[in-house]
Amino acid sequence: MRAILLWVIQAYGLTSNPRKGLPPAADDVSFEAGAGRITALLGAPGAGKTTVLRLMLELQQGRGITHFRGRPLHRIAHPSREVGALLGDVPGHPARTVRGHLRMLCAASGVPVRRADEVLEAVGLVSLREERLGILSRGMDRRLGLACVLLADPHTLVLDDPDSGLSTRESTWLHGMLRAHATQGGTVLFTTSDPKGAARTADRVVTLEQGRVVADQEAAEFARTRLRPRVAVRSPHARRLAVLLAKQARTSQRSVEVVREGGNRLSVYGGTCADIGEIAFRNGIVVHQLADEIGDMGPGAAGDSHGVGSTSPAAALSTGLRSRPTAGADAPAEAAEPSSCSEDRAGISPEQRTALEPTPFSGTGEPVTGESPLSFGQPQLPDVEPRECTDTSPADGASDGSSAAAEPSLPTAPHAKPRTARTLDELPSLPPPISVRPAPSPLRPLRYEIRRATGIGTGFLTGAVVLAVSAVTAVVLARVGHTPQPRLLAAWPQELPLPPAALGAGLLGAFAFGDEFRHPALAADRGTVPRRLGLLAAKLLVSSITGLLLAVLTVGCDAEVLYLVYGRELAQVPVDWISLSANWIGLVVGCAWAGVLAAGVFRSTTAGLAAVAAVPILVVPVVHKLVNGPSVRTAAGLPVRLRETLLPRWPFGGERYLEAVLKVVSQPVGGALTLSLTALLCAYLLTTLRGRLR
């Protein structure tokens, strides 16, 4: 029990299914993440970080298991209450507003609708709450993604490369939010390919290389073994200064390594600002930048005791850490963490400074110039401005005017309390905690479906187009003549298999599941749209109401247009309007249901609409052939015998309503539609049952 409370995330033997001719993307990955701490999953692109997260969240087939506070995710009744996951961009419809998207997720999570405004205020998106998701920038999308995962107040956050593509300011804010969540007792696991960012932000760093764990270290141990200090130098006489530094290193028999970064920049490992500045001053060399930095070290750096440039290209390229672009190339420069030019850095304890000193090695001291192979695996100097800079020009010592930068946050020693990059008062404020009862998602399916259907203008636009097409078709049919009055009011020509209203209702029904699979708002923590009967019932109910409104409005608009154009004669109500209305409403609602079920089974809006069109085109002829085709015995007269068998005298005349239903079903289109709905419902239930048995 103690281990369960200490380790919130416990991953055991996560292994993805093998790929053809390639090793598995994740191979026997095991690690743990504790409460109140930030854990970084570090690795180069292609190291298997995202695959590990997908295996943890049960989004991908493979072996192994992950426990979240002692339970696998499929055993947690409401996963979003326990784990907030964000993989990639926000999975929302681009036409939905920021506030509307969060309110829809509030209904799915079972939280009050005011929670949307609380998380928007926490992530700083209150002023953009009415903006569409499709126009948000990368930084705003990351903020909205964090708002989505915080909506149900989860204990654990799982984020895949959350600061990718963000500016330094946005990344600082995001890391502050993660630290604030961990400070309140939560658990944070995120992936990254930046070793310096991992050491700066995380409490523990798990390093992946080619799908395997190669290191699982506290942040201080990671910084000691994977990072080392360097002095960043800029000078118009960089080549001459490099030669002098190498000569001085040979004379004093010190382990100093000089790396030409291109242009007028140098990286000096094993030296100090004071020593370099003194050499430059004595030799009359102007220095424009002189600052201590923390740089990448490369694989196996902790135990290296070889000469300068002894790291081979093959060893350098096999590292699990990201290699940076060479300064002077066209690649974007990365932000570094320059510190004071003073030899004793402010805010660093002697133990930490000792841990960050480079491992001694004996070298020739020869400078690296141009594109020498000796620069393989060595850190590249980012184009940044230091916090302090000393100009050692012998003339007047004037500085080149560097801008100020913040002091880097160094990792603490193992077993220390969770670090904070800033004081607790300066951390971003999280939304207030909430209480959510465990239940299947979505918790409030009807409210969720109403918000989903009305949150974008697709449904309203489709309805308007259907009414306009129906009115024009009715006018044209009346002008041509020879069209029965019921078909005239429904705008249903003999040549078309279905009227516009039925096709429109089927399209709206197909959107109910088609939009879910195209923009899976419910799949952020589970991967697929939940096949819950409550969600299906909500979609069928909303599509029924939509189909009913569309059927009534179509007949009303057609009658009004016919009255305005041709007079009262064509707008008269038929004598048997009750049975005709039942047939009409049954057809439109049945098409809407067919669209919902087909889109849910085949996961596509197009498949849903195709299933609706297939009823009169394919299923009706098949039913005709089966019932009335040539054979020894036929099923002719089946509707009459069904009415005789199933319609005894019911109290209060209830048999009349059942007879009306049987009349609708016994018609060719009605029978084919009923048969199609039954088959689609059975297929949906079968796929639901199969998903639960996995």
pTM of the prediction?
0.67
Domain co-membership, 235 together with 182: no
Residue that terminates a domain, selected from 146, 171, 203: 203
Token digits of residue 524: 């952020």
Phi, psi values for residue 212, rounded to 5° = -125, 150
Whole-angstrom distance, CA of residue 99 vs CA of residue 114:
10
Phi, psi values for residue 71, rounded to 5° = -135, 140
Whole-angstrom distance, CA of residue 522 vs CA of residue 516:
8
Residue that terminates a domain, selected from 400, 417, 434: 417
Secondary structure class of 64 (helix, strand, coil): strand
**Which pLDDT tens digit goes with each residue over 77-113?**
778 888 998 888 777 889 999 999 999 999 988 889 9
In this predicted structure, which of 345-354, 543-552, 592-601 has the lowest mean pLDDT?
345-354
Domain co-membership, 70 together with 144: yes
Question: What pLDDT, on a 0 to 100 scale, did the predictor assign at position 631?
Answer: 53
Please tell me the total count of domains within the chain: 3
Secondary structure class of 207 (helix, strand, coil): strand
**Which pLDDT tens digit goes with each residue over 211-222?**
999 999 999 888
| CATH for 31 | 3.40.50.300
360, part of any domain: yes
- Nearest partner of 68 among 78, 228, 60, judged by Cα: 78
Query: b/e map of 352-361 (b: 16 or more CB within 10 Å)?
Result: beebbebeee
Alpha helices in 455-576 (DSSP H): 458-480, 485-490, 500-518, 533-566
* Helix H or strand E encompassing 244: helix 238-252
DSSP 22: B
HEC letters along 154-166: CCEEEEECCCCCC
Whole-angstrom distance, CA of residue 589 vs CA of residue 600:
17
Does pLDDT of 500 surpass 70? yes
If you average pLDDT over each of 384-393, 401-410, 576-585, which comes out highest?
576-585
Domain co-membership, 459 together with 509: yes
CA pseudo-torsion sign 181, 185, 187, 190: positive
Whole-angstrom distance, CA of residue 341 vs CA of residue 565:
88
* Helix H or strand E encompassing 447: helix 445-454
The answer to whether 384 and 405 are in contact (CB under 8 A) is: yes
The answer to whether 73 and 50 are in contact (CB under 8 A) is: no
The answer to whether 381 and 338 are in contact (CB under 8 A) is: no
Q: How many CB atoms lie within 10 A of CB 645?
A: 8
Does pLDDT of 45 surpass 70? yes
Beta bridge partners of 190: 40, 159
Question: Any residues with CB less than 8 A from the CB of 217 and at least 6 apart, and which?
Answer: 204, 205, 207, 225
- Nearest partner of 402 among 384, 389, 416, judged by Cα: 389
512, part of any domain: yes
77, part of any domain: yes
Domain co-membership, 238 together with 288: yes
Domain co-membership, 161 together with 199: yes
The answer to whether 496 and 587 are in contact (CB under 8 A) is: no
425, part of any domain: no
Which residue is associated with the tokens 């201080």? 220
C-alpha pair distances (Å), 371 with each of 203, 232, 240, 261, 277: 37, 18, 16, 9, 25
Question: What pLDDT, on a 0 to 100 scale, did the predictor assign at position 664?
Answer: 58
Residue that terminates a domain, selected from 171, 203, 235: 203
212, part of any domain: no
pLDDT average, residue stretch 448-454: 92
pLDDT average, residue stretch 167-174: 91
Secondary structure class of 259 (helix, strand, coil): strand
Whole-angstrom distance, CA of residue 185 vs CA of residue 37:
8
The answer to whether 232 and 200 are in contact (CB under 8 A) is: no
Domain co-membership, 246 together with 349: yes
Question: What pLDDT, on a 0 to 100 scale, did the predictor assign at position 372?
Answer: 32
308, part of any domain: no
Helices 577-602 and 655-666: crossing angle, nearest 10°?
A: 60
Query: b/e map of 170-189 (b: 16 or more CB within 10 Å)?
Result: bbbbbbbbbbbbbbeebbbb
Domain co-membership, 367 together with 236: yes
pLDDT average, residue stretch 195-201: 89
pLDDT average, residue stretch 260-266: 83
Beta-sheet strand order (sheet of 71-72) = 29-34, 7-16, 62-68, 71-72
Does pLDDT of 282 surpass 50? yes
Structural domain span for residue 349: 225-298+313-417
DSSP 661: H
In this predicted structure, which of 47-51, 119-123, 652-656, 685-689 has the lowest mean pLDDT?
652-656
Domain co-membership, 620 together with 657: yes
Domain co-membership, 249 together with 356: yes
Does pLDDT of 381 surpass 50? no
Helices 458-480 and 500-518: crossing angle, nearest 10°?
A: 160
Domain co-membership, 501 together with 572: yes
DSSP for 331-369 reads SPPPP-----SSSS-TT--HHHHHHHSPPP-----PPB-
Domain co-membership, 55 together with 142: yes
The answer to whether 508 and 592 are in contact (CB under 8 A) is: yes
ω before 442 within 30° of 0 (cis)? yes
**Which pLDDT tens digit goes with each residue over 513-529?**
888 888 887 765 445 67
Question: What pLDDT, on a 0 to 100 scale, did the predictor assign at position 658?
Answer: 53
38, part of any domain: yes
Phi, psi values for residue 208, rounded to 5° = -110, 145
Domain co-membership, 189 together with 263: no
- Nearest partner of 93 among 402, 383, 453, 463, judged by Cα: 453
- Nearest partner of 24 among 42, 43, 48, judged by Cα: 48
HEC letters along 398-425: CCCCCCCCCCCCCCCCCCCCCCCCCCHH
Whole-angstrom distance, CA of residue 495 vs CA of residue 505:
20
Q: How many residues does the chain have?
A: 694
In this predicted structure, which of 181-195, 369-383, 641-655 has the lowest mean pLDDT?
369-383
568, part of any domain: yes
